[in-house]
Structure 1
Amino acid sequence: MFEIGVNLTSNQFDKDRQQVVERARAAGLSGMLITGTSASESIEASRLAAEYPQFCWSTAGVHPHQASSWDNETEQCIRALAASPQVVAIGECGLDFNRNFSPSDKQEAAFSAQLALAVELELPVFLHCRDAHRRFTDLLMPWLNELPGAVVHCFTGNERELEWYLSLGLSIGITGWVCDERRGLELRGMLRHIPADRLLLETDSPYLLPRDMAEKPKNRRNEPAFLPHIINQVALWRGEDPVWLAKKTEDNARALFGLPRRIQ
């Protein structure tokens, strides 16, 4: 099984980062994608990925929360990182009008610049969209024919948004949000609408600890070792075999990010 979204650079992992990776391996994961969310975090994500060759890879990009930091120096940093073999996608990039930690015009400029960079470098994009669907798709659509691939990471939108993303050929990343009986029920009902070859699975750890886990860690921190729980739940709600779903979503991830197929 393959984890497409772990924020391994988070300071929540500072005390046991190596053990987190080891627990992921022990849980049956055969690959992880470490998320870059700023120039500095992307540098750290790349460094971490290089420590675990053929098990970890990373993205390089600027999250909409940090979009105000986008400038020529940042772009050159992301460009340089993308030349590293362990960096396999541009992002996390997109729009977040829910909190607007960066002004909307700064978000749009950084997003468009990263889409252009991804096209130039022939890399897929790792996308973030929250409360910004219309503008997000307006900015994304002109680049779609030239992008080698794209995933809407941590999708939590409505059915209309899902249908629109699927019509554009995007892959959909599902997290433990779907395991939350308070706010994930709508998403749970949409799972069967996602074609198997467009589905990717992730924890987005250390965030979004699945609420329906029987035994939760005392620190309430999510980690990649809990991906099997998400796979089992998603398989249950989709009416599929979890072993098959784990392999299928891994194959999807490796195809999207241009990674070698896992040796059986």
Structure 2
Amino acid sequence: MFDIGVNLTSSQFAKDTAQVVERAREAGVTGMLITGTDLPESEAASALARQYRGFCWSTAGVHPHQASSWNDDIALQIGALAAREEVVAIGECGLDFNRNFSTPQEQEAAFSAQLALAAELAMPVFLHCRDAHARFVALLEPWLDKLPAAVVHCFTGNEEELAGCLSLGLSVGITGWVCDERRGLALRALLPKIPVDRLLLETDAPYLLPRDLQPKPASRRNEPCFLPHIVRQVATWRQEDAQWLAQETDRNARRLFRLA
């Protein structure tokens, strides 16, 4: 099974990165994509992916929260990072109108620039969208015929938004959000509507620890070793075999990110 969203550069993993990776292997995880959210994190993600070559890969990009940092120099450096073998997607990029840590205008400029970069390099995009679906689609759609693939990471939208993403040919990343009985039930009900060849699974570690893990971990930190729990739960709610779903979503990730 493949975890397409791990924030392994987080300070929460600084003291035990090697053990986190080893626990993931022992749990049956067969690959991980390390998320880049700004230039320094993208460089760090690339370094970690190189350290764990063949098990980890990375993205390079600027998250909408950091969009105010985007400039021509960062664009050049993200492009240089994207030339590395272990860097397999541009992102995490997109729009987040929930918190607006960067202004909507800054977010849109950084998002459009990264879509253009991905198109120029013929690379997949690793996307973020929160409370911005209409504008997200408006900016993304003109580029889709120039991009090899795109995945909406950590999808938490409604049925209409899911249908819109699927109609555009996007893949959908599902996290332990669906394991949260307080806010994940609506998305849980939508799981069967995602075609299996468009479904990807992820922890988004160290965030979004599944609330229904038993026994509950002593720490609130999520880890990629909890991906099997998410796979089992998603398989149950989709009425599919968990081992089969793990293999299918692993295959989807390797195809989308063009991994050996």
State TM-score, norm by structure 1: 0.98
> Which SS does the other structure have where 2:62 is aligned?
coil
Deviations 1:168-226 (A, max 9, x none): 00000000000000000000000000000000000000000000001222121000000
Counterpart AA for 1:204: D
Distance 1:124 1:115 in 2: 9
Matched, 1:116 2:109: no
Provide the residue aligned with 2:14 in structure 1: 14
Q: Which amino acid aligns with 1:23?
A: R
Aligned to 2:137: 137
1:256 to 2:244 alignment:
no
Alpha-carbon distance between aligned partners in 2 of 1:120 and 1:216, rounded to the nearest angstrom? 45
Does structure 1 residue 68 correspond to structure 2 residue 68? yes
Matched, 1:228 2:258: no
One-letter identity of the residue aligned with 2:257:
F
1:1-264 residue pairs with structure 2 within 5 A? 1-260=1-260
Q: Take 1:178 and 1:30, find their aligned partners in 2: how far apart are those partners? A: 22
Task: State the alpha-carbon separation in 1 of the partners of residues 143 and 162 from structure 2.
Answer: 19
For 1:38, give the aligned amino acid.
D
Q: Percent identity?
A: 72
Aligned partners of 1:199, 1:232: CA distance in 2, in Å? 14
1:219 partner amino acid: S
Which letter does structure 1 place at the counterpart of 2:104?
Answer: S
**How far does the alpha carbon of each residue in 1:17-58 deviate from its partner, in whole angstroms, 9 at most, with x for none?**
110000000000110000000000000000000001110000
1:259 aligned counterpart, secondary structure: coil
SS in 2 for 1:245: helix
1:61-114 deviation line (CA, Å, top 9, x unaligned): 000000000001110110000000000000000000000000000000000000
CA distance in 2, matches of 1:174, 1:210: 12
TM-score (norm 2): 1.00
Equivalent residue letter for 2:6: V
Task: Tell me the distance in 2 between the aligned counterparts of 1:218 and 1:21.
Answer: 19
Structure 1 position 257, deviation (Å): 0.1
Query: For each residue in 1:230-259, what CA deviation from the matched residue of structure 2 results, as whole angstroms up to 9, or x when unmatched?
Result: 000000000000000000000000000000
Q: Give, in whole Å, the separation in 1 of the partners of 2:121 and 2:218.
A: 43
Consecutive unaligned residues in structure 1, runs of 5 or more: none
Q: Post-superposition, which runs of at least 4 consecutive aligned residues in structure 1 deviate over 3 A?
A: none
What is the aligned residue count?
A: 260
User: 2:151 aligns to what SS in structure 1?
Assistant: strand
- Name the Cα RMSD after superposition: 0.4
2:59 is paired with a residue whose SS is strand
Segments of 5+ residues of structure 2 without an aligned counterpart are none
Cα distance in 1 for partners of 2:43, 2:6 equals: 15
